[in-house]
Structure 1
Amino acid sequence: MMYKCPFISLENHRDENELILPQSIYRKFNFSGQPMLKAGASSLRVNCSPSAGGSTEVMLKSRDPLFTSIPQMENVLMTIDQEHQCISIGPITALLIDHCDEDTLNTHSLKKYFTECRRWFQERGGFFYLLPVTSFLKNEPEGFVFDHDEWQRVSVPLPHVIYNRSHSRKVEKHTLYESALRRIEDQSVHLFNSSFLSKDIVHTYLQSHSQLQSHLPETGQGLDRLDEMLSIHKDIFIKSVNGSKGRYIIRIQKREKDYLVFQNSFSSKRTLTFPTYSSLYRQLQSWCRSSCYIVQQTIPFMKVKEQPLDFRFLCHKNRKGSWTVISTVARIASEKQFVANIDQGGRMEPPLSILTSLFPHADSGLIFSNMKALSLSASAFLSEHLKGHYAEFGIDIGVDSEGKPWIIEINSKPSKKTFVDNERIRPSVKALYEYSYNIWKEKENEHESSTWDHDA
């Protein structure tokens, strides 16, 4: 059975662990032995006793720092399995972040996202904390918990779910990271979005899908096909396979007497011209020697007042484990940019209003639906074929003059800057909770089917 109660943990001066339950709960079960209390993938034996009076609070007295670090919560979801003498609280979710300290968190670019996650999990009865990648790699049970109006580094229980938001590709290539992934899987911790997606691998997978391949620009690996593709298309993009946030992208237009180049990462001069292909190629070799690149046909997407336009579809697995679109936004490039990324100064607009301004009203809704369907198909296909678990994708789509959608890029760590409503909890936060709840309940349901009890 499941209950929703206030929760407090205190340090016990005795060796035993004591769990004090509201009388309304305690009377329904036989706690003659020492039930197992589970918080995420961590557990300890407890002696259960009823609370005094009519208290509805669950109180844990323990000397285990993994449990005493759980902050006081107004709501916690608790399941009780009488047959297996097991009490579980959850869902417990950790956000894997790059190494930082308490002071850095106060100025972190994702500070508002962290706060929203902590607040929403608390309201719904879950526990959310931040897990530095250093603790994850070294198997140290330390994370940042929000308590007394600030993030504090303390010992933490192993979570049910880890959402990887580390932005270090170097970390993900380290042998310690691979070892950590195997270790937490052995401990029944579910980690999702385990790595960045490289553009070449994503294209290769999507190209194998018969219904998706017609929505992909022609793409070549490396610079070997550059001359050929410029001769055919006259306008191409060169993209670093590991680039993000609109960086390390080059656009080249072949004109009658020269080549026009746009870039935003290699030189302070954003627009350059080259009189010959050989001079262009020498410069590209200098720029691109430190990474792998793809060459991609430029699709003539619709623009807004001559500025590049694309659409970001944020897709997430829901409580049932199915993919759903949880938010969409139109992104319009800034005046001096040739990409529409928000990190490069782009602005956001409602998608349907932008589509209605570009196409007949009767067509705009169908175009939007087609983009949404394309996003869901790509998400489901990639999550099925990629190694590891994936539950969130940011999918960038462009639309040509015929209203046909084209997949530009798919991100496994989509920006959290594409949400502007300061009053509401953003959809991606709610989706993270729903997904975490589903993972927790799947684990619980391996032993018994739970039912809601709102009386406690």
Structure 2
Amino acid sequence: MWIKIDVIDLEANIIYLPTTIAKTITEVAFVCFGKKKVLTQVQVMEDAAVTDVHSFNNPMTIKISKELANELLIVESLIYQLVADKGNIVIGPVIALLLGNRSHLYNPYYMKKYSDRLGVYSKFGGLIYGFSCKGVDWDNNVVYGLYYDNEKSQWRYGKFPFPSVIYRRNFHVSERLIKKLIDVTDGRLFNSTRFTKYELYKFVEKNKFLSNYLIPTELSVNESVIKNFLKEYKKVILKPIDLSRGRGICVIEEKQKGYKVLDYRNTEYLEKYLDDDDALEIFLKPNRSFFEKYLVQKHLELAMIDGSCFDVRVVMQKDSNKVWICTGIECRVAKKDSLITNISRGGYALPLSVALTKAFPDESNQKLLMQQLDNLCKKFCNHMDQMGEHFAEFGLDVAVDINKNLWLIEANVLPSFKGFKGMDYNNYLNIRYTPLIYAVSLTEFYESVSLESDKEE
């Protein structure tokens, strides 16, 4: 049931419920709000109108004592849901966004970047807040952060209980603290870890089906590894194992005489020619970073759009039924004379159908390629669920070569959606909403989002 809370000035732990609810509850019950749980007297609201008609816009008012509100850390002004069963009364949902460690930056203005995610707030209501681990008082089980005030469309400072579910939005947090938060939420912290490109490669390699979509890759531990790859594949790409958005990339191609190098490690890429093997060695030796946290990979001959390479970004998310679905596909086309497709590096986005038509103008049937892409992405996500972590969102980067073969480039746990925002704003919003809907599905209030999902289908 949808409720609004009226806090009354009483010094005992008491909750007043309408007769229709109170008669199903024991006289003393636990009231739960997030991970707070308080033993409370249950009494009947004699003046309450007996009605089963209630909604987000027309909630039923219940009363709780000031002492109970303080113990639970209730934010009085919000619209909640209430689920009751014998000795337990749950008010919520209580969901948190885990931010990074720069708590001095997290203010109402900063949090506006998350406001568009709350466009579906009326589906579930409750307390949605953002916090940093620096704002956690572990001794008193209290979290300081900013909550979303739906009525004012503003973020406000507050003090809260530990949430029922955490949507991890930053990876600059120690694994020790993440483990504590996973324990506190009984495993309901999602996007629980991220991985390097090579860790992903080695895990996916274990799957017979998925291994067919992997680009030959090895850790770049010394010059010999790079030279051997050049000897076998003629053109290789060097990538940092733990960076994204095309940062740190270098391409080396064996020519009839010497080598051609395209260096994207700085803002402006450098193109240089090396006369022979000695010149290659001279280029590699001072660049020690190539042998520390880099991998070397066969360079693919990608399909082109108007002379520019492109790749496909597929957004996979878990829905209210906890099932992996594709919520968005865009093709990212590199700017002229660049191999970097990222929007932040000058690329632009196209719908998949438009991109495939431009890349393969003589081919009319795109359906098979799209089916292969969908199958690949779903099998990837189901395989990742076997890692023992809690994932609910991936941005998969898939390459299409000149022969229309698909190749899995990488997977981002916290993908960006810049291309979608400009290409299809409604789809962009749907992508932004889905993780919170999934978060609610992990709580006692799952029906409020699952029923809506069934209605849409």
Which TM-score bucket, shorter chain as reference?
A: 0.7 to 0.9
Q: In structure 2, what is the equivalent of residue 52 of structure 1?
A: 47
Distance verdict in 2 for CA 1:422–1:318, change over 3 Å: closer
Q: Which of 362, 365, 370 in structure 2 is aligned with 1:368? A: 370
Deviations 1:54-78 (A, max 9, x none): 382234443455744535234x332
Q: Please tell me whether residue 16 in structure 1 is matched to residue 8 in structure 2.
A: no
Please list, as runs of the form range in 1=range in 2, the aligned pairs for 1:302-313 lying within 5 A after superposition.
302-313=303-314
Distance in 2 (CA, whole Å) between partners of 1:370 and 1:392 is: 20
Distance verdict in 2 for CA 1:102–1:47, change over 3 Å: farther
Distance verdict in 2 for CA 1:285–1:427, change over 3 Å: farther
Which has the higher relative contact order, 1 or 2, with Cα contacts under 8 A spaced 6 or more apart?
1
Return the TM-score normalized by structure 1: 0.84
Q: In structure 2, what is the equivalent of residue 447 of structure 1?
A: none
Q: Please tell me whether residue 417 in structure 1 is matched to residue 418 in structure 2.
A: yes
Contact 2:120/2:433 (CA < 8 Å) preserved in 1?
A: yes
Q: Secondary structure at the match of 1:247?
A: coil
Distance in 1 (CA, whole Å) between partners of 2:162 and 2:187 is: 8
Please list, as runs of the form range in 1=range in 2, the aligned pairs for 1:34-113 lying within 5 A after superposition.
35-48=29-42, 49-50=44-45, 52-54=47-49, 56-63=60-67, 64-65=69-70, 67-70=72-75, 72-74=77-79, 76-82=80-86, 85-100=87-102, 104-105=106-107, 108=110, 111-112=112-113
Distance in 2 (CA, whole Å) between partners of 1:366 and 1:98 is: 42
Q: Secondary structure at the match of 2:208?
A: coil
Q: Secondary structure at the match of 2:134?
A: helix
Distance in 2 (CA, whole Å) between partners of 1:376 and 1:30 is: 43
Please list, as runs of the form range in 1=range in 2, the aligned pairs for 1:194-205 lying within 5 A after superposition.
194-205=192-203
Deviations 1:26-85 (A, max 9, x none): 4x524522x2111222222333342735382234443455744535234x3321112xx1
Please list, as runs of the form range in 1=range in 2, the aligned pairs for 1:381-420 lying within 5 A after superposition.
381-384=383-386, 386-420=387-421
Counting matched residue pairs gives: 429
Aligned-residue Cα RMSD (Å) equals 3.1
* Partner AA of 1:243 in structure 2: L
Return the TM-score normalized by structure 2: 0.83
Gap regions ≥5 residues in structure 2: 50-58, 453-457
Residue 380 of structure 1: CA displacement? 1.0
Distance in 1 (CA, whole Å) between partners of 2:93 and 2:278 is: 59
Deviations 1:140-197 (A, max 9, x none): 51121023443223111211211211142xx3xx4xx324414541552511212221
Contact 1:9/1:62 (CA < 8 Å) preserved in 2?
A: no
Distance in 2 (CA, whole Å) between partners of 1:352 and 1:301 is: 17
Deviations 1:218-276 (A, max 9, x none): 11111441101112212111111101122122122222233222233347553233333
Distance in 2 (CA, whole Å) between partners of 1:60 and 1:245 is: 50
Distance in 1 (CA, whole Å) between partners of 2:426 and 2:297 is: 40
- Percent of residue pairs identical: 21
Distance verdict in 2 for CA 1:408–1:17, change over 3 Å: same
Q: Please tell me whether residue 151 in structure 1 is matched to residue 155 in structure 2.
A: yes
Deviations 1:376-410 (A, max 9, x none): 111111221x2421121111001112221110111
Distance in 2 (CA, whole Å) between partners of 1:231 and 1:167 is: 38
Q: Please tell me whether residue 7 in structure 1 is matched to residue 11 in structure 2.
A: no
Q: Secondary structure at the match of 2:365?
A: helix
Distance in 1 (CA, whole Å) between partners of 2:451 and 2:406 is: 44
Gap regions ≥5 residues in structure 1: 445-449
